[in-house]
């Protein structure tokens, strides 16, 4: 088999894996948009905040330690214990549910039936608040995140492809784990949205807030639930991305990777977030491989948006998004 074809196959496989990581971030956006029509600008910061909280709990870090020490002149940084990863993830989820409640109590419920742009602006404010709050709570240092996920070259794939094709493919173990987790997450979310009472209520709220209220659906409960689920998705994304680069404040920028995925897959479709992620992942990697070297490289960031825009020309609602028709 020609060498270039083998390279292209390897790039495609890695593109699929990267696409799954993008989808993980996009899923959080889709969930909240589906339930409340809000484009949650704070989704990336939620991933950061959840990862910071997870590491903080695992390492036994004292929240707001810097502030406490500055005010009281103490030198308290750690409780002196380490919490196992599973327990820390569960505790972090409790924090994310509390955050969801706070977001609903202090922001969302005051904005029922407001224009989407108002809701969007509120999430911008939330993003900045959470970033500062996370800094105050856990500090700005880079933090190692190790929940026991494998990383690095998958030797089995490397050896198998080498024996079969004469060239060993590189696939990162972490990407394989992320793909499995994302698949399970999507299946769970689709089942939840389609077949559970709360899931159907969530979709009803998404269609019309007031109509949902009139049939006895608790808007507060649904929004807290949805923000909690989005918080869980953010935590999963934070773990995957944080395991690669450490937990640091630029983690919030992963949201930039989700935008073209949403444009392509549609803002209201969970499968769309996955398919969109895969198309963007493969598309940008193949373009970088084939065209990048001719035009100076670093094409991935902008090409993802170009690809999404091309799709939008033919399907403005995205591949799987709901077609919105407004009659006047």
Partner 1 sequence: MRLKLLAAAAATLMTVAPAMAELVIPALNYRTGAYAISGIPFADGFSDYMTLLNDRDGGIGGEKINVMECETAYNTEKGVECYEQTKGQGALLYIPQSTGITYQLIPKASADGIPVWSVAYGRTSAVNGKVFKWVFNLPVTYWDGASVAVKYAMSEEGGSLKGKKIALLYHNSAYGKEPIRTLEKLSEKHGFELLQIAVDSPGQEQKSQWLQIRRERPDYVLFWGWGVMNQVAVQEAANIRFPMDKFIGVWWSGSEGDVLPAGAGANGYKALAFNGTGTDYPTLQAIKEQVIDAGKNAGDGTKWGEVGYNRGVYSAAVVAEAIRGAQAKTGKSAITPSDMRDAMEALDISADRFTELGLKGMGGAIKLSCAVHSAPRQAAVQQWDASAKAWSLITDFMDPDFDVIDPLIEEDSMAYAKENNITPRDCKM
Tell me: does residue 285 bind partner 1 (CB under 8 A).
yes
Site for partner 1 in 138-157 (CB under 8 A): 140-142, 144-146, 151-153
Count residues near partner 1 (CB under 8 A). Answer: 49
Please choose, out of 34-42, 89-97, 300-308, 315-323, the segment that lies near partner 1 by the rule CB under 8 A.
300-308
Q: Would you say 139 or 265 has its CB closer to partner 1? A: 139
Q: Tokens standing for 268?
A: 């209201």
Please choose, out of 50-58, 205-213, 290-298, 317-325, the segment that lies near partner 1 by the rule CB under 8 A.
290-298
CB of 159 to partner 1, least distance (A): 13
Long-range contacts of 59-66 (CB under 8 A, 24+ apart): 59/143, 61/138, 61/139, 63/137, 63/138, 64/136, 64/137, 65/139, 66/136, 66/139
Tell me: does residue 124 bind partner 1 (CB under 8 A).
no
CB of 162 to partner 1, least distance (A): 13
Tell me: does residue 160 bind partner 1 (CB under 8 A).
no
Tell me: does residue 113 bind partner 1 (CB under 8 A).
no
The 3-state DSSP class for residue 41 equals: coil
The mark string for 239-258 relative to partner 1 (x by CB under 8 A, - otherwise) is --x--xxx-xxxxxxx--x-
Q: Would you say 98 or 153 has its CB closer to partner 1? A: 153
Measured on CA atoms in the order 290, 292, 295, 299, is the torsion positive or negative? positive
Tell me: does residue 292 bind partner 1 (CB under 8 A).
yes
Q: Report the chain's C-alpha Rg in angstroms.
A: 21
Q: 255: which residues sit within 8 A by CB, 6+ positions away?
A: 25, 29, 41, 43, 44, 45, 47
Q: Tokens standing for 40?
A: 């949650």
CB of 132 to partner 1, least distance (A): 8
CB of 10 to partner 1, least distance (A): 7
Position of tokens 């680069």?
A: 245
3-state percent breakdown (helix, strand, coil) of the chain, nearest 5:
75, 0, 25
The 3-state DSSP class for residue 90 equals: helix
Interatomic CA distance for residues 131 and 208, integer angstroms: 31
Q: How many Å separate Cα 193 from the centre of its chain?
A: 18
CB of 323 to partner 1, least distance (A): 32
CB of 187 to partner 1, least distance (A): 26
Tell me: does residue 11 bind partner 1 (CB under 8 A).
yes
**Are the CB atoms for 198 and 192 separated by under 8 Å?**
yes
H or E element that contains 81: none
- Residues binding partner 1 (CB under 8 A): 7, 10-11, 14-15, 17-18, 66, 69, 73, 75, 77, 132, 135, 140-142, 144-146, 151-153, 170, 172, 241, 244-246, 248-254, 257, 284-285, 288-289, 292-293, 296-298, 300-302
């Amino acid at each position: 088999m020609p060498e270039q074809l083998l390279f292209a196959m390897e790039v495609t496989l890695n593109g699929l894996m990267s696409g799954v990581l993008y989808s993980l971030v996009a899923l959080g956006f889709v969930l909240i948009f589906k339930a409340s029509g809000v484009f949650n600008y704070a989704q990336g910061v939620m991933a950061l905040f959840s990862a910071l909280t997870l590491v903080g709990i695992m390492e036994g870090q004292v929240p707001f330690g810097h502030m406490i020490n500055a005010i009281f002149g103490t030198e308290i940084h750690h409780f002196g214990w380490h919490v196992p990863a599973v327990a820390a993830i569960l505790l972090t989820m409790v924090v994310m549910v509390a955050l969801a409640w706070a977001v609903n109590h202090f922001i969302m419920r005051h904005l029922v039936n407001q224009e989407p742009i108002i809701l969007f602006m509120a999430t911008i404010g939330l993003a900045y608040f959470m970033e500062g709050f996370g800094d105050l709570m856990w500090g700005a240092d880079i933090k190692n995140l190790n929940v026991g996920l494998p990383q690095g070259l998958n030797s089995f794939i490397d050896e198998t492809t080498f024996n079969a094709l004469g060239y060993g493919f590189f696939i990162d173990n972490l990407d394989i784990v992320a793909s499995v987790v994302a698949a399970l997450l999507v299946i769970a979310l689709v089942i939840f949205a389609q077949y559970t009472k709360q899931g159907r209520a969530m979709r009803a709220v998404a269609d019309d807030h007031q109509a949902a209220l009139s049939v006895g659906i608790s808007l507060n409960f649904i929004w807290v639930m949805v923000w909690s689920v989005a918080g869980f998705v953010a935590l999963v994304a934070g773990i995957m991305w944080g395991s690669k680069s450490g937990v640091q404040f630029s983690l919030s920028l992963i949201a930039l990777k989700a935008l073209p995925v949403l444009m392509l897959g549609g803002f209201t479709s969970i499968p769309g977030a996955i398919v969109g992620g895969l198309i963007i992942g493969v598309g940008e990697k193949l373009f970088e491989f084939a065209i990048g070297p001719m035009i100076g490289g670093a094409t991935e960031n902008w090409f993802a948006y170009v690809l999404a825009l091309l799709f939008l020309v033919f399907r403005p609602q995205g591949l799987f998004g709901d077609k919105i028709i407004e009659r006047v």
